[in-house]
């Protein structure tokens, strides 16, 4: 569902990013709130937030309400990195569009002459 491998889940657990519950057999149980958290983590990873920072956020969360400002700052910083990424992608996309157009132009010319 979340497309996170079991191995990756173990890794996140080792890094103290997630701590699933255990059933009577000692097997991991991911509740709805675990899944929600993982979904959030996945989004952060997909947008290039390093594990180390996700770990930091998790730790702040555990420390309680008095860390809200720090968490807000962390999220605002990440928001800025997202903005930068979007800018970079758009610039490159524009460059690619130019190249793609010129390739198409070239190819149609070749076709005409053949």
Partner DNA sequence: AGTTGACTTAGAGTGAACTCTAAGTAATAC
Partner DNA sequence: GTATTACTTAGAGTTCACTCTAAGTCAACT
Catalog residues that contact DNA under the rule CB under 7 A. Answer: 5-8, 10-11, 24-28, 45, 50-52
> According to the binding rule CB under 8 A, does residue 76 interact with its own copies?
yes
Q: Interface with its own copies includes 108 (CB under 8 A)?
A: no
- Decide if residue 68 touches its own copies (CB under 8 A): yes
CB of residue 106 vs DNA: minimum separation in angstroms? Answer: 28
* Residues 6+ away with beta carbon under 8 Å from 34: 18, 20, 21
Is residue 47 close enough to count as binding its own copies by CB under 8 A?
Answer: yes
Q: Are 78 and 49 spatial neighbours (Cβ–Cβ below 8 Å)?
A: yes
Dist. CA 75–CA 63, nearest whole Å: 17
- Quick one: what does residue 40 bind among its own copies, DNA, none, with the CB cut-off 5 to 8 Å set by partner type? its own copies
Q: Which residues would be at the binding site for its own copies (CB under 8 A)?
A: 40, 43-44, 46-47, 65, 68-69, 71-72, 75-76, 78-79, 82-83, 85-86, 88-93, 95-97, 99-100, 103-104, 106-107, 110
């Amino acid at each position: 569902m979340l497309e996170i491998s079991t191995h990756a889940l173990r890794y996140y657990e080792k890094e103290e990013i997630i701590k699933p519950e255990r059933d009577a057999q000692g097997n991991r149980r991911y509740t709805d709130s675990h899944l929600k958290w993982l979904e959030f983590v996945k989004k952060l990873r997909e947008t290039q937030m390093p594990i180390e920072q996700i770990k930091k956020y998790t730790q702040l969360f555990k420390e309680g309400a008095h860390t809200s400002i720090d968490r807000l700052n962390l999220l605002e910083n990440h928001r800025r990195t997202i903005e930068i990424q979007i800018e970079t992608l758009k610039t490159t996309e524009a460059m690619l569009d130019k190249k793609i157009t010129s390739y198409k132009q070239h190819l149609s010319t070749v076709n005409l002459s053949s």
